[in-house]
Structure 1
Amino acid sequence: MTTLTPLLPLEELRSALGPAAAGLDDLVAQVGADPRRLDRVFPAAARRTARGPLEQHPQVLAQDAVRVALLVAAAPALDDDDLLTELRSLYRVGDSDEKRAVLLALPGAPDGLVAVDLLEDALRTNDTRLVAAAMGPHARHLDDSAWRHGVLKCLFTGVPVSAVTHLRERADDELAAMAERFAAERRAAGRPVPDDLHTVLSAATHSSRES
């Protein structure tokens, strides 16, 4: 049996959704009874419940929390391989909102469930929502090279590097050199250098001192 961690506990999410919680309950019941229904209800989640920041939890989007809740409800009936197959399928056919929800569910997955391929796909896009989600806690599974390029992608696309989990722990001299080259290219082109460059360089300096 596989378990996932929700963005919000179910009761908190129900409270935050108010009357829309009825739609959540119905969708959760459907996928709990038959996980194969995920491909039908996952895209419809926002339409059946709500969109936008939750008033009680403004840092959480309703559609993200609902979709992750559906994955949480379906997960116990699936083993790691089956759940990973389902996540890949939902990501592959989903729109940007659905892809983001899949990425946000990954940090709450058991250690044996690793989806580096989804992170790498998200980092190939210029969708800032996907880039930010990909550089969250599940990015610990990226190798050092892919992770460094993910940080650079944040700088390039304007994603705040505060979205990068464990920046201070993983930043190194190679990342600092890459960031400096990026900054030099921007200056040469007469383009502004993002303020977050200094955050990256500071993190690399801190990491070097600690090692």
Structure 2
Amino acid sequence: MEQNAWLTEAVAKVSAEPKTIVRLFASAGRHCADPVAARTRLLLALPADVLPHWIDDLYRHGDNSEKLAVLSALPELPLGDEAVPLLHDAVRANDTRLLAAALGPYARHLDQHAWRHAVLKCVFLAVPLENVADLDERADRELTAMVAALRAEREAAGRRLPPDALRLLDSVP
């Protein structure tokens, strides 16, 4: 079956019977050239009243590619802050793709303390800060103090911070 036809049929199935998303979400990687976009379409097909349950279930039981798809879709879904626990989980993981996705536009729901620590982890793991949504607006003195302390630690060990982290230090007065 052609991937567009597969996806169209899968979206219709999820709209009619939400529990089918479990099987279809997992198999999107085999049927679609862009599984993240396909999985986003499947999530968008879910009725709003069951959406929080299914995104949590799909994330918690999914492999890292499925988790990435859930995190990437969050900004497009009709949600409030229900999925913030998923961001916390992604930040604790050591998969840099999940960390970067967790700091996309939906990260506006993270409190400032958690957001700062997630950004610091990006610096520590050399995740490009261009992946951090609203960095210029949310960066504050406390974040720069944390990054400066990491820089001092790295320099004492003969290592350097990534260039975008150095720019971050220069951007906050």
Shorter-chain TM-score: what band? over 0.9
Unaligned runs of 5+ in 2: none
**Shift in CA distance, 147/72, structure 1 to aligned 2, threshold 3 Å:** same
Deviation at residue 89 of structure 1 after TM alignment? 0.5
**For the residues of structure 1 that align with 2:54 and 2:65, how far apart are their CA atoms?**
16
What is the CA RMSD across the aligned residues, in angstroms? Answer: 1.3
Matches within 5 A, 1:1-211: 19-50=2-33, 62-74=34-46, 77-79=47-49, 82-205=50-173
**For the residues of structure 2 that align with 1:163 and 1:122, how far apart are their CA atoms?**
14
Percent of pairs with identical residues = 51
Unaligned runs of 5+ in 1: 1-18, 51-61, 206-211
**For the residues of structure 2 that align with 1:114 and 1:204, how far apart are their CA atoms?**
31
Give the counterpart letter for 2:159 in structure 1: R
Q: Secondary structure at the match of 1:191?
A: coil
**For the residues of structure 2 that align with 1:111 and 1:64, how far apart are their CA atoms?**
18
What is the TM-score with the length of structure 2 in the denominator? 0.94
Deviation at residue 46 of structure 1 after TM alignment? 1.2
**For the residues of structure 2 that align with 1:203 and 1:107, how far apart are their CA atoms?**
26
Higher relative contact order (CA 8 A, sep 6+): 1
- Point out the more displaced range, 178-187 or 26-35: 26-35
What is the TM-score with the length of structure 1 in the denominator? 0.77
Q: Secondary structure at the match of 1:192?
A: coil
**For the residues of structure 1 that align with 2:11 and 2:79, how far apart are their CA atoms?**
24
**For the residues of structure 1 that align with 2:78 and 2:166, how far apart are their CA atoms?**
34
Number of positions where the alignment pairs a residue of Structure 1 with one of Structure 2: 172
